Structure 1
Amino acid sequence: MTPGTRTAAAGAPPITTLVCDYGGVLTNPLAETYAVFSDSTGIPVEDLVAAFGRATRRYGVSPMAELEIGAISEDELVRRVLSELDREPGDVLRGLPFGEVWFRGRRTNEDLTAFLRTVRAAGHRVGLLTNNVREWEPRWRAALPVAELFDTVVDSSREGVRKPDPEIYRRLVARLGADPATVLFLDDLEENCAAARAQGMHAVRFDTTDQAVRDVGRLMDLPAFDKEPSGGTS
């Protein structure tokens, strides 16, 4: 079991709902997306990361965090970040939306998607809790069979609040109509997992697909997931 994973206490109610993060869990790792974006734009990854950091210090808040709650537009994020590099959006993105270039480096984690189908087939509910971008919604929904996989979707860009703010977890549980003690949350960031635990949920930090499947399977008392990894996120 991954360090920090909360195990079910004796006598606790069974876990009946699995809630997943999107980016870095149901997709390939963020570092891979950055690398493809760098190749597409000619901006080194370290320069891009530094520009995000400078924009955060200049405005007092992360531009990505603001984008993920719908406080700024995708175009404004691009303007803030590229201005730190003295670059123009048209030169870098060649007239394309930021999301179109960004999603060149996004791949669906097909092994985990298959596991979610296994969870549902076992009679459990599955939800999605994502810090995401309103302009990107058509892209990520096209990449996942959302209606097939998820009973509930909670998207920060539509809620105006994002993980790890406790409010978004409270909204999630309310929409599930579930006891938090029966919900298991899977996310690649420990701060988001800790926030879920603080609301009474179980949580597993995603490191690899194989590890996540093992940890989730044990907590939910599921049969072993015997599909061999396809070479995607693992």
Structure 2
Amino acid sequence: MTIEAVIWDFGGVFTTSPFEAFNRFEAERGLPKDLIRRVNATNPDTNAWALFERNEVDTTRFDALFLEESTALGHPVRGADVLPLLNGALRPQMMAALKACKQHFKVACITNNVVSMHSPVQDAGQRAAGAMAQVMPLFDAIIESSKAGVRKPDPKIYLMMCEQLGVTPQACIYLDDLGINCKPAAALGMKAIKVMSVEQTLAELSVLTGLTFDTGPQA
């Protein structure tokens, strides 16, 4: 089927991955590597992170819940210390690819985010907020988990986007840095690309779209 839309995740796609910041934080604190990811992967539909991204708890409650969950894994970490780590630096090549795709396809964003002073959406003083300000106006449609009350990998959020764009899943490409979020998109019929590097991503996107993207050194 002809491609009609390219749907993008935000963090870890247009910006450097927060996982890198998580690992730096863990190293600085003498914590086990990937502890934060392990906390987030435990009870992934009902844990502090899931509740926060669906806007079912506020920042104060998230702080307390994350502390409880990390403590249960043997290493207490406050949620308030994790939120600033979400910020990342803009990947200019990905933004250029978005602009190129926009000339030929509908473009949209599905992002799991949180409503807090440290959210990439809310904190204009952070690098990710600056990236948001540059990237988000380019999209034809945006779904934020904190506003929609549903988050990836729930298939509903992908179908919601298809309805907004007026396309079928089979006519869409979906990009995300998490395999768990790519799987439901692929199951619905989307062409899913797991973002592991800029070069790999743009090579796969080029094959699917027929467009040529700059894969030289990043700025």
After superposition, give the CA deviation of every residue in 1:154-200 in whole Å (9 maximum; x if it has no partner): 11111111111111111111111112221100011222111012222
Aligned to 1:130, which of 111, 117, 129?
A: 111
**Residue identity matched to 2:155:** P
Structure 2 CA distance for partners of 1:214 and 1:80, relative to 1, 3 Å: same
Q: What's the CA shift for 1:146?
A: 3.8
Aligned partner of 2:51 in structure 1 is 66
After superposition, give the CA deviation of every residue in 1:53-102 in whole Å (9 maximum; x if it has no partner): 39956x9932111111111122222222335256778xx85xxxx64x32
Q: Which has the larger radius of gyration?
A: 1
Q: What's the CA shift for 1:35?
A: 3.6
| 2: CA distance, partners of 1:75 / 1:120 | 39
Query: Percent identity at matched positions?
Result: 27
Aligned partner of 1:8 in structure 2 is none
| 2: CA distance, partners of 1:54 / 1:182 | 32
Structure 2 CA distance for partners of 1:44 and 1:155, relative to 1, 3 Å: farther
Q: What's the CA shift for 1:15?
A: 0.7
Aligned partner of 1:80 in structure 2 is 65
Q: What's the CA shift for 1:147?
A: 4.6
In the alignment, structure 1 residue 216 sits paired with structure 2 residue 205? yes
Aligned partner of 1:6 in structure 2 is none
Aligned to 2:88, which of 106, 116, 121?
A: 106
Higher relative contact order (CA closer than 8 Å, sequence separation 6+)? 1
Which runs of 5 or more structure 1 residues have no equivalent in the other structure?
Answer: 1-11
TM-score, length-scaled by structure 1: 0.75
- Secondary structure of the residue aligned to 2:29 is coil
In the alignment, structure 1 residue 202 sits paired with structure 2 residue 191? yes
Q: CA RMSD in A?
A: 2.9
Aligned to 1:53, which of 10, 28, 39?
A: 39
**Residue identity matched to 1:165:** D
Aligned to 2:167, which of 166, 175, 178?
A: 178
